[in-house]
Each structure stands twice: as C-alpha cells, then as structure tokens.
Amino acid sequence: MDMGLSGKRALVCASSKGLGLGCARALAAEGVDLIMNARGQDALDASAETIRAEFGVEVTAIACDVTTTEGQAKLLKAAGDIDILVTNAGGPPPGVWSDWDRDDFIKALDANMLTPIALMKAVLPRMMERGWGRVVNITSQSVRSPIPALGLSNAARTGLTGYVAGTARQVAQHGVTINNLLPGIHATDRAVQLDGGVAKAQGITMQEAREARYATIPVRRYGTAEEFGAACAFLCSEKAGFIVGQNLLLDGGAVSLTM
C-alpha cells in the first residue's frame, strides 16, 4: 500500500527510544524527512544516524526538553513548515491519590497535556493554510481505563483527550486530522522500569513479574515499538484522511471494551 507520505516532513517528539522512535522509523521507512528530539544527545544522535543510514531520509536531531517553552521554541524553529506532528514525552511517576500536590499536577499537565496543546496550536495554522496535515498524540491506555497508580497521567492525558476531541473537528475541513494513539504495555524502557518496580515490591524476579503481566494481556506478550510505529504511519498517511478525533488502543486486547 502506498501511504502517500514520500517527501513529507515530520516533527517526532521524544523519539530517541521506545514508542517515539518506533514512529520515527516507520515514517522514515515511508520516505518522510524527520526532526527528532530527546533530552539526551548521545542516544538521539545514534538513533538519528541509524535512520539516515537505513532509510536515506533527512534527519535533524534537536536535543532539548520538549516540556519546556524554550525546548518547544527550539523544535518549532528547526521544524518550520511540517506536514506531520507526533507529540510525545515521558510519563509522570506512579503513586497513590494522596501523594500528589499542586506542583506535581502542574508538572504532569505541562508535560502530557499543555505541551502537545502548545505544539498543535503552533503548527495547525500553517497546516490548515496548506490544506494538509496530520497530528498523532501518544497518550495511554489509561485514557480509556484509568490505572490507579498513575493518577497524574490519568488526569493530564484525559485533559488532552478532551481538547483533541473538540479541536480535531474544527480543523478537519482544512485537510488536517488529529488522532491519539493509546499504548497498552509495550516492550520499551518504560516496561522494564514498571516490571522492575513490581519485582522489587513483590520479591520476585523480573521474568516472573513479566510473565504475570503477560497473563493479563490476551495476546500474552508486550507490544513492540515497530507495531506501534506502523499504526502511527498509517494514521499519518494519505489513506487515513477520514479518521478524525479517534483514540486508538494498541494494547493486545488488555482493556475489555465493546467500543
């Protein structure tokens, strides 16, 4: 299937590793030039170089914190007129409902709600003028099925989801689509971190922690960044122009829902 993406330009935030990198690689495989980002320079440069060598696309690597206004300004300057925006950042820490104060919420809202909103507000006007654009926000399964220990994430990402639901329907007439991808558990550093926490708390091995989690997922494994990236590339493609304001769960069936 020709995705119609060759020669387009994408800003993929938080993309030196994990799901962001999966999206960057899948877009590059379709001939998309990239602006990639992460805070750590070394891993970012290494991933950018691998993508250049493997797919022959142009890659600009910008090391900065996407959740700061300075970081966003740097990225937007380097990006210029882009066709595709993929928003992403690290997730907030776990805890219980009574742990978090105002500052914790502000930090989570900044990272996982206000940052993607600021980036969308910056790029949407030119996409609309040019009559084509794609935005994909990486959110979480917790938007459909809240994870109790991730209250900060539940709150911030649900706020973003509400904003996208309204905004996507205001920009679609200009050829611009906005959709969200909701990862369930994927085999990235984040999964290693979560399994490490469970192993320590329960006095079990990492493998035991992993197997216990596999048992809760109908496909009995974690998702891969490659699978995740493929879904992102499809939502960004020419073929997906009628998909607007959707929340696509990629969770191996873990969340049991009829719709």
For ligand NAP, the binding residues (CB under 6 A) are: 14-20, 37-40, 43, 65-67, 88-91, 138, 140-141, 183, 185-186, 188-191
> What's the min distance (Å) between Cβ of 172 and ligand NAP?
25
Q: Which is nearer to ligand NAP, 90 or 159 (CB)?
A: 90
Q: Which is nearer to ligand NAP, 85 or 171 (CB)?
A: 85
Contact predicate 126/174, CB 8 Å: no
> What's the min distance (Å) between Cβ of 70 and ligand NAP?
11
Q: Which is nearer to ligand NAP, 120 or 176 (CB)?
A: 120
Q: Which is nearer to ligand NAP, 20 or 151 (CB)?
A: 20
Q: Which is nearer to ligand NAP, 58 or 189 (CB)?
A: 189
> What's the min distance (Å) between Cβ of 17 and ligand NAP?
4
Three-state DSSP class for residue 150 = helix
Q: Which is nearer to ligand NAP, 100 or 132 (CB)?
A: 100
Contact predicate 79/66, CB 8 Å: no
Angle subtended at Cα 95 by Cα 93 and Cα 100, rounded to the nearest 5 degrees? 90
CB burial readout 92-125, b (16+ within 10 A) else e: bebeeeeebeeeeeebbbbbbbbbbbbbbeebbe
> What's the min distance (Å) between Cβ of 139 and ligand NAP?
7
> What's the min distance (Å) between Cβ of 233 and ligand NAP?
16
Tell me how far the alpha carbon of residue 177 is from its chain's centroid.
Answer: 16
CB burial readout 146-161, b (16+ within 10 A) else e: beebbbbbbbbbbbbb
> What's the min distance (Å) between Cβ of 170 and ligand NAP?
26
> What's the min distance (Å) between Cβ of 92 and ligand NAP?
8
Q: Which is nearer to ligand NAP, 141 or 167 (CB)?
A: 141
Q: State the helix-helix crossing angle for 225-236 and 18-29, rounded to 10 degrees.
A: 50
Tell me how far the alpha carbon of residue 104 is from its chain's centroid.
Answer: 21
| Whole-number Å distance between alpha carbons of 65 and 70 | 8
For 214, other C-beta atoms within 10 Å of its C-beta total 14
As given in the structure block, the two tokens for residue 45 are 């440069």
Pairing of strands 9-12, 176-183: unpaired
